Homo-oligomer: A and B are copies of this chain.
Amino acid sequence: MALSFFSQCGFFSKISPKNLEIMSSLVKQHFYKKGTLILNYEQSSTTFLYLIKGWVKLFKESSDGKEVIVDILNNDHYCGEQFFFKKEHENDPYKAQSISDVEVFTMSISSLYQLISSDSHLSASLLQDILRKQQHLNMEVEHLSIQNSAQRIGCFILRLSALQDEEKITFRLPFDKGLLASRLSMCPETFSRAFNTLTKECEITMDGNVIHVNNVNSVARYVCEHCTKVFPCKESIN
């Protein structure tokens, strides 16, 4: 891969020139079609996966066979950093599957860890990223206890909308509704009904996979009612 690529690549942009060289010899670039299993349980615990473009779902199966969504990754998200310090038997692995056509690069966790260890700017940049992720997880926990289903959907849409800076927004859902429901910890039926109440409560409609937000503030008024933050809360999408 081109060295110049990494210089725009999330936390890697802080990598030292020397390590940049080393790194480019360690990574492998891959292209996968929608629906491909990218990592199985075993691979996940030794592989650092960086998503250049597309959408990837991370998931596990619970002991009674249901799929549990761990996370949904988008451009410049990554996974695997939690295994830096893990011994084999402590692992809590997952599977990764593409839910769109995707472009990724991978490298082994251990070699990334060596890079990090020898590059204090890189490690600071990673730390910053991880703390942001942690903030997001804190928000998720909070929302699961104070928001109802319709509000969780609305909040997700607001965060997608935040990428644009308009009053009226139209965009396509990045993946199917069943998966989004699952990501937001509700069943598909609840998702469908909750979206109806969202339409009733504020100026937002859905046509197939296309969302029309006619007034962002009306959505925020309904969604952020019980939240400890104030909209616009500038969180990342996931």
Contacts and interface: CB of A to CB of B under 8 A. Distances in A.
A3 interface: no
A236 interface: no
Interface stretch (A13-21, A26-34, A42-50, A136-144): A136-144
A61 B226 CA distance: 9
Contact of A90 (B127, B224, B234): B234
B84 A142 contact: no
Nearest to A139: B92
A4 interface: no
Contacts of A63: 224-228, 230
Interface residues of A, number: 43
Interface stretch (A117-125, A155-163, A189-197, A200-208): A117-125
A70 B227 CA distance: 13
Contacts of A61: 228
A131 B116 CA distance: 15
B141 A62 contact: no
Which of the listed residues A120, A127, A234 has the most CB atoms from chain B within 10 Å of its own CB? Answer: A127
Nearest to A224: B63
Nearest to A142: B68
A142 B137 CA distance: 11
Contacts of A82: 131, 134-135
A24 to B, nearest CB: 23
Nearest to A130: B130
Interface of A: 60-64, 66, 68, 70, 81-82, 84-85, 90, 92, 117, 120, 123-124, 126-128, 130-131, 133-135, 137-138, 140-142, 144-146, 185, 224-230, 234
24 contacts: A61-B228, A62-B226, A63-B225, A63-B226, A66-B226, A68-B142, A68-B146, A70-B142, A82-B134, A82-B135, A84-B128, A92-B138, A92-B228, A117-B120, A120-B120, A123-B124, A123-B127, A127-B130, A130-B130, A130-B134, A141-B141, A141-B144, A141-B185, A144-B144
Given A134-B137, A141-B185, 7 more contacts: A62-B226, A62-B227, A62-B228, A63-B225, A85-B127, A92-B228, A145-B185
